[in-house]
Structure 1
Amino acid sequence: MIPLAALTMWPMTAQADVTISDGWARASILASRPAAAYLTLRSDEDDQLIGITTPIAGHVTVHGVETDANGVSRMSAIEALKLPSGETVTLAPGGMHLMLIALTEKLEEGTVLPLTLTFASGAKIEISVPVLGPGASGPEKE
């Protein structure tokens, strides 16, 4: 893991005209269990988030939460996350999130998680998000 002092400043903008803010991950208890990360995306042009990678997980997917007519919620993978021009798309606890599967190490509170986001426009954005405690609900706002 990268030390917390190496944290990339937020928000970040790249050639994709996508602004990424409020990124964070929740510490994991075991490397054998999936972990979750969250962030907010806003694009100046219609685009799609089509891939996410990190060196500490075998696979990263965007998961949405669907609730059926009986009120039962379940997660489902989203192949391409649409980013409509000018709209904010938020990944947050209880809703859409990044699911990190097949971790090579557990996420430790106080470190950062490096992520590479790939967009349909061809752009790739590299970011690092802070890893907060296992019970965290997000970064504290000042």
Structure 2
Amino acid sequence: MALAGCGSGGGGSAGSSSAAGRPDLTVTGAYMPAPTMGTMAAGFFTVTNSGGADELTSVTSDLTDDVTLHSTKNGAMEEETSFPVPAHGTLTLATGGNHLMFAKLTHKPRQGEKVAVELHFAKSGTVRVSMPVKSATYTPGSGH
């Protein structure tokens, strides 16, 4: 189930391969594993950029006022202030790597719910995503 959001509303740039060009973002594969604890959850997705470089600077959600960006380095989670979205590249948030952490949840989302998330980018502004809650053991590509 792919979800898409477009950052800039101005269509694509014809033939521009410059990293200084306008970003053109699409968000796919968004999901949240059903949290096993009532106070924390994780979120994952892929941002595909067919334009110039951008940067994911923050995330907001009505599920909590406390959404942070995290990386996993040498098996340890580290909070990050932003994630780069390379020109003509991708930013992947996946289990065991970069991800979102939702803390102090207003409620424990259950499988089948959808969580509204706003991704804030330095150049593209806000991209709204509906993040479906999957099973706690969901693996993308397997369907479960």
Report the number of matched residues. Answer: 128
Question: Pairwise mapping of residues 1-142 of structure 1 onto structure 2 (< 5 A)?
Answer: 10-15=3-8, 17-32=24-39, 34-43=40-49, 44-67=51-74, 73-121=75-123, 123-138=125-140, 140=142
- Greater strand percent: which structure? 1
- TM-score, with structure 2 as normaliser: 0.81
The more displaced of 100-109 and 9-18 is 9-18
Greater RCO (Cα-Cα under 8 Å, separation 6 or more): 1
Q: Are the equivalent residues in 2 in contact too, given 1:22–1:39 (CA < 8 A)?
A: yes
Unaligned 5+ segments in structure 2 are 9-22
- Structure 1: 4+ residue segments shifted above 3 A: none
Counterpart-to-counterpart distance in 2, 1:27 and 1:114: 15
Q: Which amino acid in the other structure matches residue 19 of structure 1? A: T
Q: Are the equivalent residues in 1 in contact too, given 2:71–2:97 (CA < 8 A)?
A: yes
- TM-score, with structure 1 as normaliser: 0.83
Q: What's the counterpart of residue 11 of structure 2? A: none
CA deviation digits over 1:66-109, x for unaligned, max 9? Answer: 11xxxxx2100110111110111111111111111111100210
Counterpart-to-counterpart distance in 2, 1:64 and 1:22: 18
Q: Are the equivalent residues in 1 in contact too, given 2:5–2:128 (CA < 8 A)?
A: no
